[in-house]
Structure 1
């Protein structure tokens, strides 16, 4: 049986089952603690019956700075999924869905316009997962993932900026059907 709860700092020593996936970004300790201190309702974990952490989601709420508000790339008040991961042995059990729904509920409680995230264009499983939850591609961020350590001169992999409208966006103003046709550069993304 899986249980869900808020993240605690002592969980940092127990993430390894989740962070071994090559598509999971691993951060330094201060980054996790910053999220815990600023956005505790957007940082949840899933535990198995033995108390092992088998999944987590980490997010934040934000908007673009005021000086950016006249840019076509301005982002209004929204929630952002920074990381969602489930340990390999616990996948396909609905854990990612529950964690995402918990973050979305917190996003609605904070009166955000939408939830967004970035996903590698090649990560078909994640894209299908998010689409099944109502997310759609809003734009393509060119060369977003610049992590080709074997060839530092190579271009990075593109990311999809995916979004799901929250209750506040009654007119669906902050999503689009043709997002794959809208390219932006990484510096245009706040």
Structure 2
């Protein structure tokens, strides 16, 4: 049995089952606490019956600064999945789907135009997962994971910026079907 609830600061001591996954980014303590302080309702965990965190999602709502308003890369008010991970032994049970759906519901409450995320272009399982949930590639960010690499020995890798319209985007203005043909550089992404 699992329980879904808001993140609490002491949960970072229970992340090891999730953060040992090689595709999960592990951040400094201050990063987790920043999300807890700024967007507490958008940071959810899934806890097993023994109190272990077996999944979590970190999200935020934001827009590009006004200085970018006239840029072709300007992002209007939207929600963003910063991190989503499920421990290997808890996968294929719908935990990731529930966490994403909870964040999408919060995005609608916050009147976001869309939800977006970045995923490694080689992470076929994650891409298929998000596509099943209605996300599509909006653009390719060239060498994103060279720019943001946590391991300097790894080669750079492109990211897919994937999006899904929220209720506010009734005309689908913030998604596209041919996103893999639209390439940008990391400095173009706010």
C-alpha distance in 2 between matches for 1:102 and 1:40: 13
The aligned counterpart of 1:91 is 91
Match of 1:110 in 2: 110
Q: Once the two structures are superposed, what CA deviation does each residue of 1:24-63 show, in whole Å capped at 9, x if it has no partner? A: 0000011000000100111000011111110000011110
Residue 184 of structure 1 is matched in structure 2 by 184
Q: Separation in 1 of the partners of 2:152 and 2:110?
A: 39
| TM-score normalised by structure 2 residue count | 0.97
Cα offsets for 1:125-172 (capped at 9, x unmatched): 000000000000000000000136336xx5x10000000000000000
- Aligned partners of 2:153, 2:117: CA distance in 1, in Å? 26
Name 2:30's counterpart in structure 1. 30
Structure 2: runs of 5+ lacking an equivalent: none
Distance 1:179 1:4 in 2: 33
The match for 2:152 is 149
The CA distance in 2 between the partners of 1:149 and 1:65, in whole Å, is: 30
Question: TM-score, normalization: structure 1?
Answer: 0.97
Partner Cα separation in structure 2 for residue 24 and residue 118 of structure 1: 12
2: distance between equivalents of 1:128 and 1:150? 27
Secondary structure of 2:74's counterpart equals coil
Find the aligned partners of 1:149 and 1:15 in 2 and give their Cα distance.
24
Aligned length: 187
| Residue 135 (1) aligns with residue 138 (2) | no
Aligned-partner Cα distance in 2 for 1:149–1:36: 28
Match of 2:160 in 1: 160
- Cα deviation digits, residues 89-115 of structure 1 (max 9, x gap): 000000000000000010000000000
Aligned partner of residue 56 in structure 1, secondary structure: strand
Q: Offset at 1:174?
A: 0.2
Q: Distance in 2 between matches of 1:27 and 1:184?
A: 25
Look up the SS of the partner of 1:126 in the other structure. Answer: helix
